[in-house]
Amino acid sequence: RELPLSKREAIIQAVRRYLANNETCPFAFKSNDQARIIAGEEEAAYAWTAVNFVTGALLESAWGSGTATPARAYGSLEMGGGSSQIAFFRPEQDIL
């Protein structure tokens, strides 16, 4: 997200070409939307989900989509080169 638009687009196009090549990539890449630069809010949600999955906080209720409970959910803090994301469970709100 910190690079100029032309460089970001060149990189994402190279990634999309790689993913679309069935000889180099085993994934079913069907649409350019499957490879994109995610927003900071999405990054925080994915980090929070990963932390709570790895620690087992999502496993007990993971039938279907899974839910977290306040007593078991962990918060996450991620610090990168140009941004930080903090995510935690609030029962009265959606994750995003």
Q: What is the model's pLDDT at position 7? A: 94
In this prediction, residue 18 carries a pLDDT of 93
Q: Which residues contact 47 (CB under 8 A, 6 or more apart)?
A: 76, 78, 85, 87
pLDDT for 39: 85
Per-residue pLDDT band at 78 (split at 50, 70, 90): confident
Q: Is the pLDDT of residue 59 over 80?
A: no
- Where does residue 26 fall: left (phi above 0), alpha (psi -120 to 50 degrees), or beta otherwise? alpha
- The pLDDT of residue 40 is 84
Cα distance between residue 45 and residue 69, in whole Å: 16
| Region of 56 on the Ramachandran plot (φ > 0 left; ψ -120 to 50 alpha; else beta) | left
CA dist., res. 27 & res. 23, Å (int): 10
- On average, the pLDDT of the chain sits at 82
31 phi and psi angles, rounded to 5 deg? -145, 145
Q: Which residue has the higher pLDDT, 3 or 60?
A: 3
User: Is residue 15 predicted with pLDDT exceeding 80?
Assistant: yes
Average pLDDT over every residue of 12-34: 91
